[in-house]
Amino acid sequence: MAFINNEVFDGGLDYAITNGTQIDICSADPTTSYADSQTYSLGTKTGLTVGATEDADSGTGRQVVVPAILAGAPGTVDGTDTATHWALSDGSSILVASGALTSGQAVTDTNDFTLDEILITIRDAT
């Protein structure tokens, strides 16, 4: 069985902790750049604090938790379309991570949005 020390994973996840301060809901997966995330963005929540690295479920790797966006402090929708993806960024130039939402959601300009927590996981070597 292969082995990689947790510190190797944690170094990569520390990057997400340091730079992941904004989440956007997007109409497509922004897989290449921060500019992509802004092209597809339908709404934004700034001022995030990504949680510390921790063991992933059942000890299968390492992860960080992007906190849920709740009704008491929602994100702001600034486009009308169907949100299908999320994008974590530094809010100015770095796309940290992106992924699909559990299900697409129609959103309308000037409304608010909430979002469940997101796990960013690096799996153990197998």
Residue boundaries of the structural domains of the chain: 6-123
Continuous segment of H or E residues that includes residue 108: none
Contact 111, 55 (CB under 8 A): no
Percent of the chain with pLDDT over 90: 83
Q: Which two tokens stand for residue 91?
A: 């809010």
Residue 108's Cα: distance from chain center in Å?
Answer: 21
DSSP character for 105?
E
Q: For residue 11, give the 3-state DSSP assignment.
A: helix
pLDDT, one tens digit per residue, over 10-52 is: 998 999 999 999 999 999 999 899 999 999 999 999 999 999 9
pLDDT band at 59 (very low <50, low <70, confident <90, very high): confident
Mean pLDDT within 83-112: 97
* pTM summary value: 0.92
pLDDT, residue 29, reads: 96
pLDDT, one tens digit per residue, over 67-78 is: 999 999 999 999
pLDDT band at 99 (very low <50, low <70, confident <90, very high): very high
